[in-house]
Structure 1
Amino acid sequence: MNDNSLRKNDFNEISMKIILNAGDARLIIKEGLDCVAACEFEAAKEKLTEAKKKITAAHAAQTETIQGEARGEKIDFSLLFAHAQDTLMTIMSEWNTANHLVRLFETFDGRLRKLEEK
């Protein structure tokens, strides 16, 4: 096995690490949104914190690769890496939206509870 194929294998592993961590984050975000639907806002926030850790791990792998290229490492185009970046970007957007939804529904729930007390 030559160095070039080893690098490609390493690059594929990094891509899969990004995809798997981002995918795990997506599942955890879904669990968090299920908590929101049940008005379990603290549990939802915990899920989003857990998901953020997965996103951070995926982002670190991506950043390491991009910084390597910036240092002059030759990195050939990889459809798998492009897919990994796209997946990560999408999940980051989902996390941001879910984070806003938790705050929004928690506020609405609080207002509704106050109205019901009257």
Structure 2
Amino acid sequence: MDEITNSTLISAAMGILTYAGDARIHAKKALQAIQSFDFTLAQSELAQASQNITEAHKAQTEIIQNEARGTKYEYCMLFNHAQDTLMTINSEVELIKELIKTFKIFAEAIHAEVK
């Protein structure tokens, strides 16, 4: 693997980690908003988390497409870590989406009982 290819892979890994990390921050803010029944803020934070996940996926997909076109990469622990991190945080975001739905149902049920 040449220096440019190695640099590209490391750069992609760092981009994935950065976007995934930002997604986790927004996902946690969404979860905190849900806990205080602020669904507007939760949806906003979750939308930002989803956008960050999309950007991380773009960086990952570029490397995968390059490899499919014949670019050879050596194993890179950092890229492996980045992919693992992305998939973990993506799962967290998906779970929080479901929690928002669940909390909304509970909030509506509680509100209906109070009336």
Match of 2:79 in 1: 81
Q: What SS does the aligned partner of 1:74 have?
A: coil
Question: 1:6, CA displacement in angstroms?
Answer: 2.1
Residue identity matched to 1:90? T
d(CA) in 2 for partners of 1:65, 1:9: 12
Residue by residue over 1:60-94, the C-alpha shift from the partner in whole angstroms, topping out at 9 and shown as x without a partner, is 00011001111111111100000000000001100
Give the gaps of 5 or more residues in structure 1: none
Residue 104 in 1 paired to residue 94 in 2? no
Calculate the TM-score normalised by the size of structure 1. 0.94
Residue identity matched to 2:99? L
Q: What SS does the aligned partner of 1:75 have?
A: coil
Match of 2:45 in 1: 47
Question: 1:18, CA displacement in angstroms?
Answer: 0.1
Question: 1:11, CA displacement in angstroms?
Answer: 1.1
Fraction of identical pairs, as percent: 38
Of 15, 18, 36, 2:16 maps to 18
d(CA) in 2 for partners of 1:59, 1:26: 14
User: RMSD in angstroms over aligned alpha carbons?
Assistant: 1.0
d(CA) in 1 for partners of 2:21, 2:39: 22
Match of 2:70 in 1: 72
Q: What SS does the aligned partner of 1:73 have?
A: coil
Match of 1:35 in 2: 33
Q: What SS does the aligned partner of 2:18 have?
A: helix
Match of 2:91 in 1: 93
Question: 1:107, CA displacement in angstroms?
Answer: 0.9
d(CA) in 2 for partners of 1:76, 1:52: 30
Q: What SS does the aligned partner of 2:75 have?
A: coil
